[in-house]
C-alpha cells in the first residue's frame, strides 16, 4: 500500500501515509523564483514598450517634416528661378520691342501687337508669343525661343512642387480623390499636416505679420475653417452668495464680442474669477441676477458647451502622459466626429507649433513626485488642451501667471491667431506688461466689490481716465498704475477732486446706468448735473441693505448656505440643455475606446507600482500559506479567514489609485462634455487585468504552501469574485472620501467586517449584520469548496463542522453570486456618486 502511495505522488513532492494531501512546497519555491524573476523583468523594462512605440512614431513624424521642408525649399528655389527668368525675358522683350519699333513703325498690326504685349503683364506667355511672331532676325529669334521654351518647361514642371495644394482643398475636392489615394498612413497624415503648416506660415508672411491688410486677406480666405460666431452680452449682472448679503459682482453691463481678446483686470477681491465663472455658467452656490444673452437670445451658455472652452487657473493636466498625449486625447474626444483624422492631426500640430511645445511634445508633463516639463510649459499645455477642440468661446483664468514676458507673448500670439478665426476670448490677467497690454482688444476693469470702472477698447482707456483727471505718469505701466489706484495705494491728484471709491459711480454716470441706493451718498459732491444721473428708484439691488443677525442666526445661515450650495452642485451636475452648438462629438462607445488607450498607457507607465503590489501579494501568500495550514478538522477556516483579510486589504488600497488620483482631471473633462460613463467603464475594464491576475499571484504561493483539499480552480474562482467585490468597494471609498480617509477605511473595513462575519456565538443583530458582509460569503465559499473534497468517514466530521459554522454544503453557487452582485452594486453606487458629487 505504501508503494502504491509513493507511485501516485507527483514529481518533486512527498506523500504522508497519514494524510490524503501531498507536500507541494517544492512547486511553491519554483513558482516564487519564476514569478519573482518575471516581476523584476517587468519592473526594469516597463517603459520600453511605450518608449519604443513613441520613438517609431517620432521618426515617422520627423521624416514627414523633413520631406515637407525640403519640398518647401525646392519650391522657393524654383519660384526664385522662375521670377529671375521672367525678369530676364521681360528685359529681352523690351529690347526687341525697341528694335522693332525702329525698323517697322508703319506696320499698324505689329504696333497693335506690341502695345498689347506692353500692357498685358499678367499674361506673360501670350505677350512673348506675339513678339515672337513679328521678330525679324534669325539669331535673336533663336535666343528668344530658347527663353520662351525654358519658361514653358518650368510652368509644366511646377506641378511637382505643388505639395501644398494636392491635399489642402475643401471638402468637395476631397470627395473626388480616389479611395486608393486617401490619407491613411502615419506618414501621409504627417505630410499633409506639415505641408498645411508651411502653407499657413507662407500665408502669414505674405500678410505682412498680421497687419490690417493681412487680417483682411486671412478673413477673406475660403480655405480657413470658419467657426460659429458667439457674442455674449450681460445686463445688470449681479452675483451674490446664497444665504448671505455679500455681493461678489454688482451691476455689470457690457458684452464680449467674437474675434476680439478681452482682458479682465482688477485688484484682488474684485471678482474677476467670479465674473468669468458667471459667464461660463459655473457659478455654483450663488444667486445670479440680471441677463446673460448669447447672440442676443436668452439661452443658457450650456447649450453651447461643446464649443466653449474654459482654462482653469490651476494646471489640471495628466502628469503621467506626454504633452502630445494630453492634447491628442482632448482633440479626439471634443472635435467633431465627422472631422477626418488628418485634419485633427493638423489642428494638433498647429497648436503645438503655435504654443512653442515642439521640443517637449514627447516629454511627460510630470507630477509633484516625478519631475516633468517646466512650469511655463505646463501652463501652455493647460491652455492647449482647450485650443485643440477649436472653441468658439474661450475663457481663461490667469493664463499668464507664472510665465515670463516672452512666454506670455507667445501665448498671446497663439490666442490672436484663434481670434482671427472668430473666437471670442475673455481672460483674467494680473498686471501685464505694456507690450502684453497692447495686444488686447478690450478691457474690463473691476474695482473691489465687483463694480465696473471701465469697459471698452484698450486704446481708449487712458483717454477716459485723463478725462477724469487721472493721467498716467511717464515711464509707468498703465495697467499697474490703474490697479494701484483701485487698491488705494496711489491717491488721485487734487485737481481731479475724486476718490478711487467714486470711480465706479463715475462709470455708471458716464454710461447712464442706474446707481444703487448705497452708492448715492457722494453724488452731490460730483461736478455733474443731477438731471444726467439715473437713480433707478424702481430697481432692486440684491445685497445693498444688510441686516444685523445674532450668533445663532449666523450659524444657522451658514448651515443653510452650505446645504444650498451642495444642492446647487447636484442640480448643476444633472443640468441638461438643448444642444445648439451644431457639433457632433464622438459617441460614448468611441470615447470608451479612446479612454482605454489612455488608461492603458498610464498603467504601463505605472507598471513598477503594480509590480510592487504583486510582490507584496507573493510574500503575503507565502507567509500565510506557511504559517496557517489548511486543517482537515476545520476545512482551512483560519487560513481562509486571514486570506480574506490580507487580499481585501491589499487589493482595496491598490484599487483606490484608479479614482482618487485624478479627480480634478475628471471634473475638468466632464465639465467640457466628455462622457463620464466612458471614463468609469474604461478604468474598470483595465482594472479587470488586476482582478484576474492577483488571485493567481496570491494562490501560487498560498495554495502550494497550505495544501488544501479543494482544487486550485475552486480557490481561484472564490478569490476572483472576492477581488472583484472589494475592488468595487474601493471605488466607492475613493469617490466619496478624501484620499487619507479612504486609505484608513480600506485598512479598517476588511478587518472589522471579517471579525463580525466570523462570530459564531453572536447575538441576533450581529448575525444579521454578519450575513450581509462580503467576508462571510467568501469564507463560506472557501470552506464549502474544501469540505466537498471530504468523503467516506469524513462525512460525519464535515457535517458537524458545517453545522457549527452555520454553512450549507449546497450554498457555494449562491455565495459566489452574492460576491458578484456586491461588486456590481458597488460599481453602480460609485458611478452615481462620481456623477452626482463632482465639482465642475
Q: Which residues contact 709 (CB under 8 A, 6 or more apart)?
A: 20, 21, 630, 632, 635, 786, 789, 790
Separation of alpha carbons 366 and 25, rounded Å: 44
Q: State the Cα torsion 140-143-148-149 to the nearest 10°.
A: 140
The residue assigned the cell 468597494 is 729
pLDDT at 532: 53
Name the nearest CA neighbour of 395 among 275, 284, 283: 275
pLDDT at 371: 83
Note the pTM of the prediction, 2 decimals.
Answer: 0.78
Average pLDDT by stretches of 10, the chain with 840 residues: 44 51 57 69 64 70 73 77 81 73 50 46 42 41 44 41 38 40 66 73 61 55 69 91 79 92 91 91 84 90 90 91 94 92 90 90 86 89 94 93 86 91 92 90 92 92 88 88 85 62 84 73 57 52 54 72 72 72 91 94 86 88 80 74 92 92 90 92 94 90 80 91 96 92 92 88 84 90 77 57 71 92 96 80
DSSP for 428-476, written as a single string: E-SS--HHHHTT-SEEEEEETTTEEEEEEEGGGHHHHHHHTT--PPTTS
Q: Which residues contact 419 (CB under 8 A, 6 or more apart)?
A: 259, 260, 261, 425, 441
| Size of the chain, expressed as the number of residues it contains | 840
The residue assigned the cell 443658457 is 300
Amino acid at each position: 500500500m505504501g508503494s502504491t502511495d509513493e507511485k501516485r505522488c507527483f514529481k518533486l513532492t512527498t506523500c504522508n501515509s497519514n494524510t490524503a494531501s501531498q507536500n507541494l512546497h517544492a512547486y511553491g519555491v519554483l513558482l516564487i523564483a519564476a514569478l519573482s524573476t518575471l516581476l523584476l523583468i517587468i519592473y526594469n523594462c516597463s517603459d520600453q514598450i511605450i518608449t519604443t512605440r513613441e520613438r517609431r512614431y517620432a521618426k515617422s513624424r520627423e521624416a514627414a517634416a523633413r520631406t515637407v521642408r525640403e519640398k518647401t525649399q525646392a519650391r522657393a528655389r524654383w519660384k526664385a528661378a522662375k521670377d529671375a527668368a521672367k525678369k530676364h525675358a521681360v528685359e529681352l522683350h523690351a529690347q526687341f520691342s525697341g528694335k522693332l519699333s525702329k525698323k517697322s513703325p508703319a506696320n499698324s498690326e505689329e504696333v497693335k501687337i506690341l502695345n498689347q504685349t506692353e500692357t498685358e503683364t499678367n499674361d506673360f506667355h501670350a505677350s512673348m508669343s506675339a513678339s515672337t511672331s513679328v521678330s525679324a532676325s534669325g539669331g535673336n529669334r533663336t535666343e528668344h525661343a530658347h527663353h520662351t521654351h525654358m519658361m514653358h518647361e518650368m510652368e509644366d514642371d511646377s506641378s511637382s512642387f505643388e505639395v501644398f495644394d494636392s491635399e489642402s482643398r475643401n471638402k468637395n475636392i476631397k470627395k473626388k480623390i480616389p479611395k486608393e489615394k486617401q490619407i491613411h498612413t502615419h506618414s501621409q497624415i504627417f505630410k499633409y499636416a506639415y505641408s498645411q503648416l508651411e502653407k499657413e506660415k507662407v500665408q502669414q508672411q505674405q500678410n505682412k505679420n498680421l497687419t490690417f491688410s493681412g487680417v483682411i486677406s486671412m478673413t477673406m480666405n475660403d480655405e480657413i475653417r470658419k467657426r460659429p460666431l458667439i457674442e455674449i452680452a450681460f445686463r445688470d449682472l449681479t452675483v451674490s452668495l446664497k444665504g448671505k448679503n455679500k455681493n461678489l459682482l454688482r451691476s455689470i453691463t457690457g458684452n464680449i464680442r467674437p474675434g476680439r481678446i478681452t482682458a479682465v483686470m482688477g485688484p484682488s477681491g474684485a471678482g474677476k474669477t467670479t465674473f468669468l465663472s458667471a459667464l461660463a455658467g459655473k457659478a455654483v452656490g450663488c444667486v445670479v441676477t440680471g441677463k446673460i444673452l448669447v447672440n442676443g437670445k436668452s439661452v443658457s451658455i450650456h447649450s453651447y458647451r461643446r464649443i466653449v472652452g474654459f482654462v482653469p487657473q490651476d494646471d489640471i493636466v495628466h502628469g503621467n502622459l506626454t504633452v502630445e498625449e494630453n492634447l491628442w486625447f482632448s482633440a479626439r474626444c471634443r472635435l467633431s466626429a465627422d472631422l477626418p483624422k488628418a485634419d485633427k492631426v493638423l489642428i494638433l500640430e498647429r497648436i503645438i507649433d503655435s504654443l512653442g511645445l515642439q521640443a517637449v511634445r514627447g516629454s511627460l508633463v510630470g507630477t509633484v513626485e516625478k519631475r516633468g516639463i517646466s512650469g511655463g510649459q505646463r501652463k501652455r499645455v493647460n491652455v492647449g488642451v482647450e485650443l485643440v477642440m477649436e472653441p468658439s468661446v474661450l475663457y481663461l483664468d490667469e493664463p499668464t501667471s507664472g510665465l515670463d514676458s516672452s512666454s506670455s507673448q507667445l501665448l498671446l500670439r497663439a490666442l490672436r491667431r484663434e481670434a482671427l478665426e472668430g473666437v471670442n476670448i475673455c481672460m483674467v490677467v494680473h498686471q501685464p506688461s505694456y507690450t502684453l497690454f497692447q495686444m488686447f482688444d478690450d478691457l474690463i476693469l473691476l474695482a473691489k466689490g465687483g463694480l465696473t470702472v471701465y469697459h471698452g477698447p484698450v486704446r481708449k482707456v487712458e483717454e477716459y481716465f485723463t478725462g477724469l483727471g487721472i493721467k498716467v505718469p511717464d515711464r509707468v505701466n498703465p495697467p499697474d498704475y490703474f490697479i494701484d489706484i483701485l487698491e488705494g495705494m496711489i491717491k488721485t491728484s487734487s485737481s481731479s477732486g475724486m476718490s478711487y471709491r467714486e470711480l465706479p459711480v463715475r462709470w455708471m454716470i458716464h454710461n447712464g446706468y442706474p446707481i444703487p441706493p448705497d452708492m448715492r451718498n457722494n453724488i452731490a459732491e460730483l461736478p455733474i448735473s443731477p438731471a444726467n444721473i439715473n437713480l433707478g428708484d424702481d430697481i432692486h439691488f440684491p445685497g445693498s441693505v444688510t441686516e444685523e443677525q445674532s450668533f445663532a442666526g449666523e450659524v444657522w445661515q451658514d448651515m443653510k448656505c452650505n446645504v444650498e450650495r451642495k444642492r446647487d452642485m447636484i442640480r448643476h451636475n444633472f443640468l441638461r440643455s438643448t444642444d445648439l452648438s451644431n457639433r457632433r462629438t464622438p459617441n460614448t462607445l468611441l470615447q470608451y475606446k479612446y479612454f482605454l488607450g489612455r488608461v492603458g498607457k498610464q498603467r504601463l507607465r505605472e507598471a513598477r507600482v503594480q509590480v510592487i503590489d504583486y510582490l507584496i501579494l507573493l510574500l503575503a501568500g507565502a507567509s500565510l500559506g506557511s504559517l496557517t495550514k489548511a486543517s482537515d478538522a476545520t476545512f482551512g477556516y483560519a487560513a481562509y479567514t486571514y486570506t480574506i483579510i490580507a487580499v481585501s486589504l491589499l487589493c482595496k488600497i491598490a484599487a483606490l489609485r484608479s479614482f482618487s488620483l485624478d479627480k480634478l482631471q475628471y471634473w475638468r473633462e466632464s465639465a467640457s462634455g466628455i462622457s463620464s460613463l466612458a471614463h468609469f467603464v474604461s478604468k474598470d475594464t483595465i482594472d479587470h487585468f488586476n482582478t484576474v491576475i492577483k488571485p493567481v499571484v496570491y494562490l501560487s504561493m498560498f495554495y502550494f504552501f497550505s495544501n488544501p483539499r479543494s482544487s486550485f480552480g475552486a480557490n481561484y474562482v472564490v478569490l476572483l469574485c472576492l477581488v472583484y467585490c472589494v475592488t468595487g468597494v474601493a471605488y466607492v471609498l475613493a469617490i466619496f472620501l478624501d484620499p487619507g480617509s479612504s486609505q484608513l477605511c480600506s485598512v479598517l473595513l476588511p478587518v472589522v467586517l471579517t471579525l463580525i462575519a466570523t462570530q459564531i456565538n453572536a447575538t441576533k443583530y450581529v448575525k444579521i449584520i454578519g450575513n450581509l458582509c462580503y467576508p462571510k460569503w467568501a469564507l463560506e465559499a472557501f470552506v464549502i469548496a474544501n469540505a466537498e473534497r471530504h468523503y467516506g468517514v469524513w462525512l460525519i466530521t464535515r457535517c458537524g463542522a458545517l453545522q457549527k459554522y452555520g454553512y450549507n454544503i449546497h450554498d457555494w453557487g449562491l455565495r459566489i453570486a452574492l460576491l458578484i452582485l456586491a461588486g456590481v452594486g458597488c460599481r453602480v453606487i460609485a458611478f452615481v456618486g462620481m456623477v452626482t458629487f463632482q465639482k465642475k
